[in-house]
C-alpha cells in the first residue's frame, strides 16, 4: 500500500445515493501534488469521474466536496472546502468555495474529498459519521431555510456534526441555488441545484481521523507569524468596514454597476453604504472557524439573526436593481440567504427583468427599478418558481433566450453566469477576466480588477500588455483556491508563491518550490478548460454581452470597450495560454 503524504488521507469517498454504495477510492500522491486540493483536486476529480458526460442535474453527474492539505492545520483562514460540479447555470465546470467547521469535520471523516453521484429515492440527509455513511429522511425539512435545516439536522444528530444544506431554491431547481454552511454559501453557479437534483437536502459530517504534519514545529511557528500579520494594515479594510466599503469607492470611480449596467454611478449609494449602515444599524463582526481576519459584518435588521452583508450582495441587490433603501437591501440579502440563492445571480437576473419591463418586453408592471418591494417579491417568486419567478429562476441568459427581442444583448452574464460588481467598460482588464472565465463572469477566479486598480494599465484603454497580468491573477487565484487560503490574505504575503511553497512543505514534506506552484496553477486552469472543452466550450463563449461592446458607459465617454479590442485581448490570452 502506498504511503500517504502528510496533510492528506490519500483517498476520497465515492457515495452513490441511488444504491447506497460507498467506495473509498485511493488518490495517488502524484495527483495530490499536481492538483493540491480545493478547486484543483476538484477539477481533476470531476474530469476523472465524469469526463463531462452527464448534464449538471443528471443523477449520474458527480458533485465533489473537496478539502485540502491545509485544512485542520493552524494556518489562518485554512478551514475551507470547495464544491465542484458541472454548473446547471453555465453548463461548464463550476467550483465554489465555502468556509468553516464543515471543512474540518469533513476531512476528519478520513478522506480528502467526498464525491456524490446518483439520486436518492426521497429527500434525504446524507450522514457521514467517521466514514460510515447513511441516508436519513429529510421529508420534514422540505421547504425549510438553509439555517433552519442546519439547526434541525445538528439537533437531531447530536454533538460534533457539521452540516451543509440547501434551501427551498435548491429543492426547486433554481439554477443558481447555493449550498450553505454556518451562514456562508458555496454560492455561485448552482451547486445547490445539483445537490437538490440528487434529492439531498443536507450533508452532515463528523469524524475523528487526523492527518499528521511533516514539520509541525515549523508550521506552528509560521502560523503564529501569519496570524500576527493578518491583524495588520493589509486586512484593515476587511476588519473595519468589510467588503461593503467598496461601494462608495466604486461609485466615486464610476465603476459601480447600476440599473443593470446602464450606469457606473448610483445616486443613492451613500444611503446604503457600509459607512452609513454602521451609523444606522447595530453591527457585529464574525469570522469563519480558524480565521483571524474577521471580515464578516452582520447588521441588525427586522430579520432574526441579523444579516451578513458583502459588497457583491450589496451591489447586486442595491444599485444593480436601483434600490437605495438600506432595509430593503438587507431584507433581500436575508431572503436570498434563507432560501439558498446566489445574490449576484439573483440581483443580475432581477435587474435584467426590470429593464425588460422598462422596455416593454415583459408584462410585469410592478417589477421596476428602485422598488424594494418588487425586489423582495421577485426573490420570493424565484425561490418558489411561481409566476415570473419560474422564468427568472433560469438565470438571465435563459430568460433572455425565451424573451427574445435581442434582450440577450443586455442580459448581464458571461457563459450564463451573472456579472459581479465591476463595470467592465471602465475596468477592462477585469473585462478580459470575465470574458475568459471558465465558470463565466467571475471575480473570484480572476482577480484582474487588481490590475485595473494599479499603475500597470490604463483601466479604460487597456492594451495587450494587460493580458499577462490577467493570467497572473487567474493563476494566483487558482493556487489560493487549491491550497486553500482566503484571498483576503493576499496583501499579507510579501512573496506569495514562496510562502505558499513553504506552507505546503511544512504540511506535506514535499520539496515544493515557488516555480513548481506556478506550474501547478497553470495545470489547474488548463484542467478546468479541458473539462469545458469536453462539455462543448467554443471560442465564441469568451466574450461579453453586446451592451458592453457597443457604446460608452453612460456619463463616461472614455469608458469604451470595442468588440475588436476585447477580441484582440481574448485572442492574445489564448495565445499566451498555449490554447
Partner 1 sequence: MRVEFLGIPRERAGVAELELDVNTLGDLLVDLDRRFPAIGGLVEAGRMRRTFLASLNGDAFVSDLRTRLSARDCVLILSADAGG
Site residues (vs partner 1, CB under 8 A): 233-234, 236-238, 240-241, 243, 245-246, 248-250, 252-254, 275, 310-312, 315, 420-421, 443, 447, 449-450, 453-455, 458, 460, 487-488, 490-491, 558
Q: Nearest-CA neighbor of 8 among 97, 524, 34?
A: 34
Q: In terms of CB distance, is 456 or 505 closer to partner 1?
A: 456
Instruction: Map grid coordinates 473570484 to a residue.
Output: 444
What angle (nearest 5°) sits at the alpha carbon of residue 314, between those of residues 309 and 318? 145
DSSP letters for 383-415: HHT-THHHHHTT-HHHHHHHH-TTGGGG--EET
Q: In terms of CB distance, is 33 or 456 closer to partner 1?
A: 456
Task: Provide the minimum distance between the beta carbon of 320 and partner 1 in the complex, in angstroms, as a whole number.
Answer: 13
DSSP letters for 258-273: BTTTTBS--TTHHHHS
**Separation of first and last alpha carbons in the chain:** 38
Q: In terms of CB distance, is 69 or 183 closer to partner 1?
A: 183
Task: Provide the minimum distance between the beta carbon of 560 and partner 1 in the complex, in angstroms, as a whole number.
Answer: 14
Task: Provide the minimum distance between the beta carbon of 12 and partner 1 in the complex, in angstroms, as a whole number.
Answer: 31
- CB distance 82 to 481 below 8 Å: yes
Task: Provide the minimum distance between the beta carbon of 487 and partner 1 in the complex, in angstroms, as a whole number.
Answer: 6
DSSP letters for 237-263: HHHHT-GGGHHHHHHHHT---BTTTTB
Task: Provide the minimum distance between the beta carbon of 249 and partner 1 in the complex, in angstroms, as a whole number.
Answer: 4
Pairwise CA distance, residues 536 & 461, whole Å: 32
Q: What's the DSSP call for residue 6? A: T
Q: In terms of CB distance, is 104 or 427 closer to partner 1?
A: 427
Pairwise CA distance, residues 357 & 116, whole Å: 41
DSSP letters for 478-547: HHHHHHT--GGGGGG-SSHHHHHHHHHHHHH-----HHHHHHHHHHHHHHHHHHHHHTT--GGGSS--HH
Supply φ then ψ for residue 122, to 5 degrees: -145, 165
Task: Provide the minimum distance between the beta carbon of 387 and partner 1 in the complex, in angstroms, as a whole number.
Answer: 32
Task: Provide the minimum distance between the beta carbon of 319 and partner 1 in the complex, in angstroms, as a whole number.
Answer: 13
What angle (nearest 5°) sits at the alpha carbon of residue 530, between those of residues 524 and 532? 110
Task: Provide the minimum distance between the beta carbon of 447 and partner 1 in the complex, in angstroms, as a whole number.
Answer: 7
Task: Provide the minimum distance between the beta carbon of 564 and partner 1 in the complex, in angstroms, as a whole number.
Answer: 23
Task: Provide the minimum distance between the beta carbon of 312 and partner 1 in the complex, in angstroms, as a whole number.
Answer: 5
- CB distance 77 to 485 below 8 Å: yes
Task: Provide the minimum distance between the beta carbon of 188 and partner 1 in the complex, in angstroms, as a whole number.
Answer: 13
**Residue 548 grid coordinates:** 458592453
Task: Provide the minimum distance between the beta carbon of 492 and partner 1 in the complex, in angstroms, as a whole number.
Answer: 10
Q: In terms of CB distance, is 424 or 447 closer to partner 1?
A: 447
Q: Nearest-CA neighbor of 522 among 566, 475, 556, 483?
A: 475
Cβ burial, residue 405 (10 Å; 0-12/13-18/19+): exposed
Q: In terms of CB distance, is 73 or 446 closer to partner 1?
A: 446
Q: In terms of CB distance, is 162 or 418 closer to partner 1?
A: 418
Q: In terms of CB distance, is 358 or 458 closer to partner 1?
A: 458
Pairwise CA distance, residues 307 & 297, whole Å: 8
Q: In terms of CB distance, is 250 or 410 closer to partner 1?
A: 250
Q: Nearest-CA neighbor of 512 among 223, 215, 217?
A: 215
Q: Nearest-CA neighbor of 146 among 297, 306, 298, 340?
A: 340
Number of Cβ atoms within 10 Å of the Cβ of 183:
20
Task: Provide the minimum distance between the beta carbon of 337 and partner 1 in the complex, in angstroms, as a whole number.
Answer: 17
Q: Classify each residue of 275-313 as buried b or exposed e, where b means 16 or more C-beta atoms within 10 Å of its C-beta.
A: eebbeebebeeebbbbbbbbbbbbbebebeebbbbbbbb
Task: Provide the minimum distance between the beta carbon of 106 and partner 1 in the complex, in angstroms, as a whole number.
Answer: 26
Q: In terms of CB distance, is 162 or 452 closer to partner 1?
A: 452
Q: In terms of CB distance, is 20 or 232 closer to partner 1?
A: 232
Pairwise CA distance, residues 49 & 26, whole Å: 13
Q: Nearest-CA neighbor of 376 among 329, 306, 324?
A: 329
Instruction: Map grid coordinates 461548464 to a residue.
Output: 92
What angle (nearest 5°) sits at the alpha carbon of residue 444, between those of residues 54 and 316? 95
Q: In terms of CB distance, is 310 or 542 closer to partner 1?
A: 310
Q: In terms of CB distance, is 394 or 442 closer to partner 1?
A: 442
Cβ burial, residue 424 (10 Å; 0-12/13-18/19+): buried
Q: In terms of CB distance, is 69 or 412 closer to partner 1?
A: 412
Amino acid at each position: 500500500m502506498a504511503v500517504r503524504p502528510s496533510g492528506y488521507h490519500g483517498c476520497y469517498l465515492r457515495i452513490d445515493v441511488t444504491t447506497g454504495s460507498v467506495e473509498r477510492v485511493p488518490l495517488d500522491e502524484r495527483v495530490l501534488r499536481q492538483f493540491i486540493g480545493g478547486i484543483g483536486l476538484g477539477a481533476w476529480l470531476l474530469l476523472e469521474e465524469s469526463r463531462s458526460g452527464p448534464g449538471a442535474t443528471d443523477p449520474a453527474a458527480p458533485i465533489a466536496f473537496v478539502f485540502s492539505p491545509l485544512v485542520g492545520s493552524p494556518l489562518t483562514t485554512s478551514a475551507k472546502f470547495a464544491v465542484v460540479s458541472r454548473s446547471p447555470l453555465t453548463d461548464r465546470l463550476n467550483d465554489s468555495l465555502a468556509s468553516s467547521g464543515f471543512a474540518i469535520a469533513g476531512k476528519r471523516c478520513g478522506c480528502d474529498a467526498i464525491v456524490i453521484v446518483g439520486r436518492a429515492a426521497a429527500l434525504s440527509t446524507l450522514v457521514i459519521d467517521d466514514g460510515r455513511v447513511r441516508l436519513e429522511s429529510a421529508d420534514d425539512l422540505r421547504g425549510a431555510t438553509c439555517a433552519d435545516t442546519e439547526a434541525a439536522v445538528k439537533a437531531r444528530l447530536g454533538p460534533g456534526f457539521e452540516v451543509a444544506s440547501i434551501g427551498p431554491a435548491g429543492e426547486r431547481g433554481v439554477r443558481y441555488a447555493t449550498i450553505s454552511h454556518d451562514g456562508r454559501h458555496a454560492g455561485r453557479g448552482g451547486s445547490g441545484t445539483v445537490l437538490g437534483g440528487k434529492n439531498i437536502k443536507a450533508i452532515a459530517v463528523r469524524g475523528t481521523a487526523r492527518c499528521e504534519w511533516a514539520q509541525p514545529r515549523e508550521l506552528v511557528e509560521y502560523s503564529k507569524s501569519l496570524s500576527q500579520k493578518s491583524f495588520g494594515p493589509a486586512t484593515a479594510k476587511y476588519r473595519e468596514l468589510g467588503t461593503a466599503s467598496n461601494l462608495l469607492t466604486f461609485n466615486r470611480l464610476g465603476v459601480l454597476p447600476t440599473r443593470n449596467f446602464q450606469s457606473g454611478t448610483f445616486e443613492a449609494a451613500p444611503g446604503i453604504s457600509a459607512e452609513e449602515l454602521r451609523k444606522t444599524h447595530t453591527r457585529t463582526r464574525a469570522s469563519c472557524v480558524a480565521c483571524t481576519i474577521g471580515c464578516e459584518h452582520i447588521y441588525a435588521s427586522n430579520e432574526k439573526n441579523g444579516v451578513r452583508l458583502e459588497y457583491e450582495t450589496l451591489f447586486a441587490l442595491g444599485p444593480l436593481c436601483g434600490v437605495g433603501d438600506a432595509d430593503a437591501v438587507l431584507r433581500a440579502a436575508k431572503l436570498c440567504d434563507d432560501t439558498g440563492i446566489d445574490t449576484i445571480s439573483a440581483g443580475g437576473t432581477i435587474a435584467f427583468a426590470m429593464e425588460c419591463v422598462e422596455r416593454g418586453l415583459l408584462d410585469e408592471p410592478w417589477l421596476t427599478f428602485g422598488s424594494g418591494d418588487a425586489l423582495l417579491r421577485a426573490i420570493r417568486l424565484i425561490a418558489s418558481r411561481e409566476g415570473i419567478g419560474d422564468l427568472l429562476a433560469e438565470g438571465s441568459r435563459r430568460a433572455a433566450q425565451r424573451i427574445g427581442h435581442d434582450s440577450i444583448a443586455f442580459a448581464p452574464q458571461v457563459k450564463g453566469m451573472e456579472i459581479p460588481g465591476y463595470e467592465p467598460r471602465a475596468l477592462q482588464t477585469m473585462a478580459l477576466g470575465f470574458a475568459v472565465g471558465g465558470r463565466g463572469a467571475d471575480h473570484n477566479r480572476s482577480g484582474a480588477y487588481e490590475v485595473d486598480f494599479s499603475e500597470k494599465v490604463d483601466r479604460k484603454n487597456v492594451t495587450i500588455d494587460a493580458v499577462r497580468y490577467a493570467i497572473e491573477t487567474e493563476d494566483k487565484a487558482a493556487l489560493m483556491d487549491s491550497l486553500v487560503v482566503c484571498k483576503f490574505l493576499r496583501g499579507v504575503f510579501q512573496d506569495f508563491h514562496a510562502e505558499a511553497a513553504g506552507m505546503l512543505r511544512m504540511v506535506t514534506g514535499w520539496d515544493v518550490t515557488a516555480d513548481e506552484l506556478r506550474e501547478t496553477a497553470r495545470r489547474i486552469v488548463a484542467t478546468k478548460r479541458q473539462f469545458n472543452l469536453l462539455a462543448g466550450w467554443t471560442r465564441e463563449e469568451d466574450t461579453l454581452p453586446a451592451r458592453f461592446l457597443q457604446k460608452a458607459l453612460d456619463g463616461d465617454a472614455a469608458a469604451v470597450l470595442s468588440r475588436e479590442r476585447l477580441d484582440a485581448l481574448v485572442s492574445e490570452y489564448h495565445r499566451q495560454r498555449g490554447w
